[in-house]
Structure 1
């Protein structure tokens, strides 16, 4: 079936296709042969026991990240980085996920998802899991990583081990760099408890004595200014050979007395408060989204409290005092054996003095089709060019826009921006294009979480250069990654396009795996142009020839493709589905996969993060295997493979995960790969992930994950390493 024919079929397709049971196989073996066993299918696929709670699944992903800190095959500083990523992920988890659940309870809007858990039940389970894992995280830090780092002459020297020379240097540093800018806040009726910024480092100080005004409240708060480094490197002449650090918190603990002259400090204890950081902008209720968003960005720093982290040495009365100030329960308290703000240790993970403790550097390659071409438009016109970042360079995407900015034959450039970064070469090229007289239109998503401020700045810069800036569509985030370029060639208009699975962020393109397609295919480029017209202007949904897009045709298309595989299996034909996404939470998509499994379709899901589907349930998901790859690079590409035994195999690439928000509340794109060469290539790359036995985790039906290890005499397979070896340029060749 052609893509155009499929699109026409999808327009009238039922969103929930039924299918019957049979068995089949395809090019890659499935995890189980259970489909050959006669099983009584479960008819009620709405049963809550068939689904995993999304937030608990997200926690499982964070636990898999933490486990990497124990992987001795991973370089030591990278193991530390994984432990810190766990902290960073937990911060966002509390700021957004936990905050959202608490908000439902506060406003009496408790609503269970397909798994049946009510928000208060989910919060109780979350607290139980997170307390256990945070304790484990600090145990790994203190008992495993710090001793191993010390063996490599990287030390964090605690106060009890300070030499006289270190003490003298710390005192001098404290007096010169810390004391002048730190402001103690005494607590009394005229100095109420201060409003503390989200995730800021603070100290509660227990005092004894009376100050100059006769006050004796006994308590003070010390907020640590954000401009102060949280770890300070000690000069070698002071600390000795190696890389030695002291924590800012240790310095403040040691010299807190100096900040309260004439009084005695009985105790000084660090703490950190996490707040709700989700923005509450009603896009439909404001006249100027950018102005409203700027106001909300300030409010984000002072949202409702959701978590309190405190040093485990803090006395119970002080802990209770802090909890009462923030309106938190003991379940929301995390007492930790170490710094409360571990993410500030990231600077140590890239020490230039210890490259052997980090992943080996690599240079992304450039496809031969672009290496041998002086004009990128000519190269794209000859053939579609597929890039797999970061194994292959993101530079051709930047070069396409740079070329468009300078080419006198280019008339117009249109692009979506979700995340681009503060210093973006992509934006530089768009600015140059606008200044060179091109018609430049940019659809910027201002509500890209935690990139709102950066996107506001980019929007202002583009507008100043003369570009038309659109903030997307009210009620829908613009998450599609597309570029459209209009060029005059021999008196005719010719379109070029870029479509991707990831963001236009050069930094992310070095860390995230994503596909990019550079194409001059007339039908696909026309579809991209139509989508821009739909985003920028007004009008009914335009019929596409090859492109599928949310919130209109993407869900229906995917359901139809799944149903087709199920129908083929029921007729005794070969049937196969492989899906690679970041998250799978949409109940309707899961239900469709369950039905396909019941029909006998072999299904492999490569889901990095949240997965609410339970594999391996007899009669339901016995033909489904779910794996997660956690390694050097963050798996981010979205790839959908369907065997389509009646015609040619199909591979679709997409900006969308299989989540409700992506399929219903975001503007997303999904586009086909065409040509046996590209399809065969991506199929092999999917197979590489399916054979990984070093960084793959298999999901069990109870929601737990098992880390795969090579069996006896089994060849070791690390998918990311194999792809790096195949596609990137080894550093030795660069040198």
Structure 2
């Protein structure tokens, strides 16, 4: 956050009284995800899935956020963040919180999830539970499927400790006896190749058709001595190291793709930030590992179960233990017209994913690729695999002679390699591929189709709050707008020119545009509500974003609260603002919705004296989005669509009393407890029933 910003009109609150630390706020979000694993409102296998999501979230938290704070400490940075914390204090608080959270995670797994799964005949069998026939099958499986791809590495003067890949499953083995060369070897490391499944399903004939599984770790542990002929394995302990996975890329490079490829290989072997070991690992073994990875005791995590819990996945055959399936709806106007172009000519079309299908977005591109009247297609791509239907359709369009331009953001974290593959596919098909602006990630979500109709060029546009990723569109909530509005289409055209060419900032008529106009306009919109409140008129702001960290906006919201503006913030994860503080934020309420779908819509509502403003955007209210990324924010002008977003996308979530968490002024999050007789209200379920039907 920007620490240079001050506001002398704010009450005398100290930094840590006024702001919540960003790292601790995102950690609180992960804890809210963890709590879903004990929520009886979720089916059993979905509760297990939340445990796995928590593991993946924690992996990234350590790889990026913890690694970043550690780097500050290494560089001797003792400056305080806007909330008043030093890097050392942040790490100490993170360590205390994450140790307790991970202990709770495994307690939930062992004491609640596994026993309930067993009641449903889904069993993860321990070695001591195997029948003789199952043991024979597992021994054969080890010999035929596992042992041939294992590479045991002895630890001796000729074989120093191996360089182990980030988050890989490994075993450290204690040995007795001599090897084939007469050497006395005490220790060895056995990496588990990532090509091996972490969960192995036993054949039906050995289980009576029940869902019985054995962990790969148990199979290796049982037969690890077979890897050391003539020696005896006296101990075998799982461990996993998490490394710094943030890429340090110099923006001043001649070839961004080439430079990025070089950095990707180093990500696997970054500085260690966390060591996980099984609870039964002896002290002298984990101390040895800590020393090898240059870690301290507080960076050690002992776990009562698989250390690679994020990969505890399998295709269970019990649908009654999952959410009921739902089929996303297709808007009526698209069903009634012969093609998407004629439908878009009739009216603006709003898509609310995953309640409504992502198919119309793909259909827009597919029809454009095959329509002889279409001359050009331009699209931004942030996260989209090379084998995705969208990329394949864009490649088809290029091969069909369309002028296809793809603005691909190579630096989308953890999708860099995939995005390089996307670029290669499109370039080979003949598309023009550009990588946006050096120093600014292109995070905007835009499609522009240019079509010749009656000797005129007509533009068709899609603008979205989420990525062009069909899988994510089934599990993330997002808005998309299909429009032929001339001014919006002209604005999108100008932004594409800005991204692919050179020149001054594009002058836009309707779109708000980061890093240029968006932040200043948001401040102006809040100022308008402040003026209304001071004039004694109703003033209202509702903001729904993934994160709120930018200090100028936080201070402006504080100012608005002091003026009497009623403010509701629906923040999925990070919120550095403290609500409900006397004379500062007593008119601000903050809630987070954590449920079946990942909340990802970004909607800004300003009452504007009865002439409401509603914008959807690709941007969160964070420094990086507002100052260091290319973002677009688009107005919703059709009265029916405005009403729909207000009711379904905002008020609907403010009514939720089953998936909601409420932020308190002290930084804690609590779940609202429905009063006796109060009807339970689930915002996402309401949308499934009303939008999907």
**TM interval, short-chain normalised:** over 0.9
Match of 2:149, SS state, is coil
2:307 paired with 1:336: no
Which residue matches 1:665? 628
Q: Does the CA-based 8 Å contact 2:385-2:391 persist in structure 1? A: no
Q: Does the CA-based 8 Å contact 1:45-1:591 persist in structure 2? A: no
For residues 631 and 342 of structure 2, the distance between their equivalents in structure 1, rounded to whole angstroms, comes to 28
Shift of 1:422: 3.7
Residue in structure 2 matching 1:98, options 59, 66, 83: 66
Which residue matches 2:664? 700
Shift of 1:96: 0.5
2:136 paired with 1:154: no
Matches within 5 A, 1:484-495: 484-495=448-459
For residues 679 and 253 of structure 1, the distance between their equivalents in structure 2, rounded to whole angstroms, comes to 59
Q: Does the CA-based 8 Å contact 1:51-1:115 persist in structure 2? A: yes
Match of 2:291, SS state, is helix
Deviations 1:480-528 (A, max 9, x none): 0001111111111111111000000000000000000000000010000
Matches within 5 A, 1:380-419: 380-419=344-383
Which residue matches 2:284? 317
2:580 paired with 1:613: no
Which residue matches 2:153? 185
Q: Does the CA-based 8 Å contact 1:600-1:623 persist in structure 2? A: yes
Matches within 5 A, 1:182-581: 182-284=150-252, 286-347=253-314, 350-351=315-316, 353-581=317-545
Residue in structure 2 matching 1:649, options 612, 623, 631: 612
Gaps spanning 5+ residues in structure 2: where?
none
Residue in structure 2 matching 1:628, options 592, 609, 626: 592
Q: Does the CA-based 8 Å contact 1:534-1:542 persist in structure 2? A: yes
Shift of 1:46: 7.1
Q: Does the CA-based 8 Å contact 1:480-1:655 persist in structure 2? A: yes
Shift of 1:710: 2.2
For residues 483 and 384 of structure 2, the distance between their equivalents in structure 1, rounded to whole angstroms, comes to 22
Shift of 1:107: 2.1
Q: Does the CA-based 8 Å contact 1:153-1:241 persist in structure 2? A: no
Q: Does the CA-based 8 Å contact 2:52-2:310 persist in structure 1? A: yes
For residues 180 and 5 of structure 2, the distance between their equivalents in structure 1, rounded to whole angstroms, comes to 75
Shift of 1:215: 1.8
Shift of 1:45: 6.6
Shift of 1:715: 1.2
Shift of 1:17: 12
Q: Does the CA-based 8 Å contact 1:585-1:611 persist in structure 2? A: yes
Which residue matches 1:49? 17
Of 103-112 and 433-442, deviating more is 103-112
For residues 696 and 489 of structure 1, the distance between their equivalents in structure 2, rounded to whole angstroms, comes to 49
Of 629-638 and 172-181, deviating more is 172-181
For residues 351 and 13 of structure 2, the distance between their equivalents in structure 1, rounded to whole angstroms, comes to 39
For residues 670 and 6 of structure 2, the distance between their equivalents in structure 1, rounded to whole angstroms, comes to 33
Deviations 1:306-343 (A, max 9, x none): 00000010000001000000000011000000000011
Of 236-245 and 521-530, deviating more is 236-245
Residue in structure 2 matching 1:80, options 45, 48, 56: 48
Q: Does the CA-based 8 Å contact 1:58-1:609 persist in structure 2? A: yes
Shift of 1:48: 3.4
Q: TM-score, normalised by structure 1?
A: 0.92
Q: Identify if the C-alpha distance between structure 1 residues 531 and 65 changes in structure 2 by more than 3 Å, giving closer, same or farther.
A: same
Q: TM-score, normalised by structure 2?
A: 0.98
Match of 2:686, SS state, is helix
Match of 2:477, SS state, is strand
Of 231-240 and 148-157, deviating more is 231-240
Match of 1:374, SS state, is coil
For residues 46 and 578 of structure 1, the distance between their equivalents in structure 2, rounded to whole angstroms, comes to 26
Q: Does the CA-based 8 Å contact 1:16-1:592 persist in structure 2? A: no
For residues 547 and 359 of structure 2, the distance between their equivalents in structure 1, rounded to whole angstroms, comes to 28
For residues 254 and 12 of structure 2, the distance between their equivalents in structure 1, rounded to whole angstroms, comes to 46
Which residue matches 2:97? 129
For residues 355 and 151 of structure 2, the distance between their equivalents in structure 1, rounded to whole angstroms, comes to 49
For residues 186 and 201 of structure 2, the distance between their equivalents in structure 1, rounded to whole angstroms, comes to 33
Shift of 1:110: 4.4
Q: Does the CA-based 8 Å contact 2:348-2:638 persist in structure 1? A: no
Shift of 1:262: 1.3
Shift of 1:18: 8.5
Deviations 1:556-611 (A, max 9, x none): 01111011111111110100000000011111111111111111111000001111
Shift of 1:269: 0.2
For residues 18 and 661 of structure 1, the distance between their equivalents in structure 2, rounded to whole angstroms, comes to 21
Shift of 1:716: 1.1
Of 334-343 and 166-175, deviating more is 166-175
Deviations 1:674-726 (A, max 9, x none): 02111111110110100000000001111111112322111111000000101
For residues 115 and 144 of structure 1, the distance between their equivalents in structure 2, rounded to whole angstroms, comes to 37
For residues 72 and 688 of structure 2, the distance between their equivalents in structure 1, rounded to whole angstroms, comes to 45
Deviations 1:220-239 (A, max 9, x none): 00111111111101112223
2:656 paired with 1:728: no
Q: Identify if the C-alpha distance between structure 1 residues 54 and 142 changes in structure 2 by more than 3 Å, giving closer, same or farther.
A: same
Deviations 1:225-281 (A, max 9, x none): 111111101112223441000111111111111111111211000000000111111
Give the length in aligned residue pairs. 689
Shift of 1:655: 0.1
For residues 223 and 401 of structure 2, the distance between their equivalents in structure 1, rounded to whole angstroms, comes to 61
Which residue matches 1:27? none
Shift of 1:300: 0.7
Match of 1:415, SS state, is strand
Which residue matches 1:681? 644
Which residue matches 1:4? none
Q: Does the CA-based 8 Å contact 1:578-1:603 persist in structure 2? A: yes
Shift of 1:86: 0.3
Shift of 1:56: 0.5
Q: Identify if the C-alpha distance between structure 1 residues 215 and 683 changes in structure 2 by more than 3 Å, giving closer, same or farther.
A: same
